[in-house]
Amino acid sequence: MTASPYRVLFCDLRSDRLIDALPIQGVALDDFIGKTGRLSGTVPIPNRAIAERARTAIIDGRTGVWVQRGRDIWWGGILWTSNVTSDTRGFLGVQIQAGGWESYLYHRRLFDTFIAEQVDQADIVRQLIDYMQDTPGGDIGITYDTAPHRVLRDRTYLRYDQPLIGDLVDDLAATENGFEWRIASYRNADGRRIKRLQLGHPIIRTGTSDIVLDHPGPVLTHAWPTSATGKANTWQSRGASINRNQAAESYPLLSPVLVNSADIEAGWPRLDGVSDHTTVERQSTLDAHARADAAAALRPVTIPEITVRLTGSITPALLGATIRLRIRDLWRPEGLDARYRIVGISISPPERGRPETARLYLEQPA
């Protein structure tokens, strides 16, 4: 069996103290902008000593996981589920699944009323992170910078709603003139493992020069999925109930109905769409959400996928970087030559007869 190039470190989630480094088979990991990444694999249990080490290190919801390739950190997250299995020959293994550090924000709720009046949207996110980590047992070591977005927001989050902090960040990011966010994993110059909140306004960008990828060539396969199922040229958004009197009938706050007449005049049928923002109580805020949602639905984003052989130039650190993709095939006999931003990466480890590959998810720069 080919030796795995990956080393998996199991650490105490709160202190990041190293508990153990265990062998792992069938590693699959991915990382995204705008979506929580995942890790899965199986820790083989060949003897009693490894079993004892695994029982100590693998604690669902309490163990942090780092994936290291060489000296570089390629992924980090929280172990959420495990499953001890036995095959027909009696070999034991522990199947593990972990979610990126972002997953922690979807396990934490806001139990206090939070009010922001004309506060930079990036500072609202950082204040939510501080609230989460200032509670006893809540600090998992997420760091951030203090760069402003210069976009001021008014937000009121009521303790009665008990919202998930991750949902609040997503909702803020998705509004008009919003941002992208993720929590990056890497090793700094001092050798410490870092969990760093990245806030990109309007998007996350990395790198200064394009990587050129060709098909035929380094690009092994490509896929170009398209769909109109999410398209809409007419939109309305619903907000919170505008009647706090439980004895009376209540109705949600509504945005104006936004109709893209130009799209309809161009020949498209009318396609309706709605969205719910049940914590939004301000009309101006709801209208901004509606405009952002309508713009996103008018031209649903196509996310092309390419599979490339993993080389020194392709790593998870490329999230947000731009590549120049050149394809010539029967579908595009004249050739495609365009630039795309990497918004996701999925790593497949080497197996017998198959090289180590990376699937890149792409988005055409605006």
Find the mean pLDDT for residues 12-32: 95
User: How do beta strands 234-241 and 322-327 pair?
Assistant: unpaired
108-200: in CATH 3.55.50: yes
pLDDT above 90 for 352: no
Q: What's the pLDDT at 246?
A: 63
Q: What is the pLDDT of residue 45?
A: 96
Confidence check: pLDDT of 2 > 60: no
Bridge pairing between strands 272-276 and 25-32: unpaired
- Fold classification of 211-226+302-363 (topology level): Phage tail proteins - horseshoe like beta roll fold (2.30.300)
Q: Where are the beta strands (DSSP E) in 58-125?
A: 63-69, 72-86, 92-100, 114-120
Q: Kindly report the backbone phi and psi dihedral angles of residue 314, in degrees, each rounded to the nearest multiple of 5, phi listed first.
A: -110, 110
Note the pLDDT tens digit of each residue in 81-130: 999 999 888 899 999 999 999 999 999 999 999 999 999 999 999 999 99
CATH number attached to the domain at 6-104: 2.30.300.10
0.85 surpassed by pTM: yes
Summary mean pLDDT of the chain: 93
Average pLDDT rounded to a whole number, residues 171-183? 96
Contacts of 314 (CB under 8 A, 6+ apart): 211, 308, 345, 358, 360
Rounded Cα distance between 50 and 196, Å, is 32
